[in-house]
Amino acid sequence: MPHVIVDYSANLKDFEPRPLLLQINTALVETGYCEALDIKSRAHMDDVFVIGLGAEQQAYVHVKVYLLSGRDQQQKQEIGKNGEFKHEVRQFQKPYDNQQAEQISLMV
């Protein structure tokens, strides 16, 4: 069962994580390797964070996808390389309340 965890900085005031979670879940199902009811997704806003030395106001969205047993290495690589899946994460690299999500990362 896949687990999706989205961490994001609190200075993304207008960021709504639910649409991102739904899009990631949909992209995972569309790979053909995941059943919708098996995917567990959640988001956490980080109130306390420092980027670099804290001198600049930057923001981040960090997505981790954990694929538990039941998928071979090839399937995991295909899910990680799926262009649609990465697009769902990258589309959120836009300004929110004058904060740029400059650090977007995806781990599969």
How much is the pLDDT for 27?
Answer: 87
Question: pLDDT, tens digit, for every residue of 27-79?
Answer: 889 888 889 999 999 999 999 999 888 877 788 888 888 887 777 778 777 77
Do the bridges between strand 95-96 and strand 3-9 make them parallel or antiparallel, or are there none, so unpaired? unpaired
With contact defined as beta carbons under 8 Å apart, do 30 and 84 qualify? yes
Summary mean pLDDT of the chain: 78
In this prediction the pTM is 0.77
Strand partners, 46: 9
CA distance 56 to 73: 39
Cα 79 off chain centre by? 13
